[in-house]
Structure 1
């Protein structure tokens, strides 16, 4: 699975952040990562550095092999909370989608 991290200019997206983000997403998605060709994580500071509750938005896009991409969003108080929340939502979403596919077969 390929992993790509994108950030706005208010959030520094260095190699260390990319490694931590990939680890969080991979651990949260668990065995589902084997069915994905790529994941993209987008981080944005919605208040442009002014602070405030849940001002970090994480958009996570997962591309299952042979299927259309799936996207979820989560707003968190900090980068880690936003990533974890989005990864949990994606896990739930993909479990549901793959479950529907299995039911059809």
Structure 2
């Protein structure tokens, strides 16, 4: 599973952030690893440097072998919370999607 991290200009894309994102995604989606070819994580601060509630956004796009890409979005106060929420949503989506495919 390839994990690609993209950020906007207001979020510093450093090694610590990349390491954190990779560990959270691996932990949340690792059991789907054989089906997932690539995960793209897009982190945005919608208000840039102004304070605000739920202004951090994480879009998580998962490319599945032989299937259409799936994406979820989560807004939160911090990028870490947005990432965790998006991973939870994606885990539920993949459970549902792959569960239905396995029944057929």
Whether TM exceeds 0.5 here: the answer is yes
Class of the TM-score when normalised by the shorter of the 2 chains: over 0.9
Deviation at 1:34, TM superposition (A): 2.4
The farther-off stretch of 23-32 and 6-15 is 23-32
Q: Who is 2:49 aligned against?
A: 49
String of CA shifts for 1:19-57, please: whole Å, max 9, x gaps: 110110110123112210000000000111201111100
TM-score by length of 1: 0.95
Provide the rounded CA distance (Å) in 2 between the counterparts of 1:71 and 1:13: 21
Please state whether the residue corresponding to 2:34 is helix, strand or coil.
helix
Q: Which residue of 1 aligns with 2:67?
A: 67
Between the aligned partners of 2:45 and 2:58, the Cα distance in structure 1 is 9
Cα separation, 1, equivalents of 2:14 and 2:48 = 19
3-state SS of the aligned residue for 1:34? coil
Runs in 1 of length 4+ with deviation above 2 angstroms?
Answer: none
Structure 1 window deviating more from structure 2 (27-36 vs 51-60): it is 27-36
The answer for unaligned runs of 5 or more in structure 1 is: none
1:61-82 per-residue CA deviation (whole Å, 9 max, x = no partner) reads 0011111100000001101100
Gaps of 5+ in 2: none
Alpha-carbon offset, residue 88 of structure 1: 0.3
In the alignment of these two chains, the number of paired residues is 104
Q: Which residue of 2 aligns with 1:88?
A: 88
Residue in structure 2 matched with residue 31 of structure 1 by the alignment: 31
Q: TM-score, normalised by structure 2?
A: 0.96
